[in-house]
Chains A and B, each alone.
Chain A
């Protein structure tokens, strides 16, 4: 019997923790306390499980868990947080679109384009001020495979990839919630739209053509884009007890 202690440790983890190990993702709607318990369980993972096959997916401990902790601190007593995390990576089945041929002319013989779309994080939180926060993070990669023939008849193949990360954040304010345009504009790489209606929505988005170099940069990017909708409502710590 191999890995007996580690198997027993995994069996004692919460179901979502086990789903991250075996399925590399989960979808769940829970209150803040349940998410805090999950974060604590994930924090113990490295000490209890050392087999590489059962390691947590990339971005779990350094992006997902800190993000959950920050958002959970904004949930009310009855507020629920829904998280859809798909940390299988961009090569997982179902994330690549069918290839399509591009128009070419000599000396290029063929060019095939493939898109890989990886929506690895989706989050919806009912905040304590009555607003609803939605966050979506998508990694998109375009791959082009170009076949060329030179004048001497030699055939060469080139592959080019272009990666883009898209972060979209929407905050739906409570009914009749006051909001004012912030005193300064956001950075140029963040776009903002305001959708009027019964409940005003503030949408912030960013399309970044460089993938983050570290998990800290990834988390910082998400938090920076998510900041914009909150600048539209007055910030004060004078009241608003939890």
Chain B
């Protein structure tokens, strides 16, 4: 059985662990039926693409925002790195992130 690899929890992070039924087309992680969001994406990839139709995507977005903010308040980089590579990769520029976060390139009209 392939377990669902979606991160759950807020303060105490863990894996869902339920039997997976699909894979995320963006990052490839295994997903159970409860964690398949819009477009078949995992909650983290859905949140990175601003698709908040599924409660798990909203929870993933809130968890990530909280971790990012509290890591800044505590100046503790270890706290934020509690996420695994899947959780972080969805928000990396050029991976699955929204086009708004991508680099415009050298020939861009405005230097953003």
Contact = CB atoms under 8 A, between A and B. Distances in A.
Interface of A: 66, 69-71, 73-74, 127-129, 131, 133, 182-184, 186-187, 220, 223-224, 226-228, 230-231, 235-242
B7 interface: yes
Given A73-B9, A128-B9, A184-B74, A240 B14 contact: yes
Interface of B: 3, 7-17, 59, 62, 66, 69-70, 73-76, 78-79, 81-84, 87
B12 A127 contact: yes
10 contacts: A73-B9, A74-B9, A127-B11, A128-B12, A182-B78, A230-B11, A235-B13, A236-B13, A237-B7, A240-B15
Contacts of A70: 10-11, 62, 66
B84 A182 contact: no
Contacts of B12: 74, 127-129, 131, 230, 240
B16 A242 contact: yes
Given A224-B70, A227-B70, A235 B10 contact: no
Contact of B74 (A69, A227, A235): A227
Given A73-B59, A74-B9, A235-B78, 12 more contacts: A69-B59, A74-B11, A182-B79, A186-B74, A235-B82, A237-B13, A237-B83, A237-B84, A238-B84, A241-B15, A242-B9, A242-B16
Contacts of A226: 11
B13 to A, nearest CB: 4
Interface centre among B74, B81, B83 (most CB of A within 10 A): B74
A128 B14 contact: yes
Contact of A187 (B59, B74, B78, B79): B74
B76 to A, nearest CB: 5
Contacts of B79: 182, 227, 231, 235
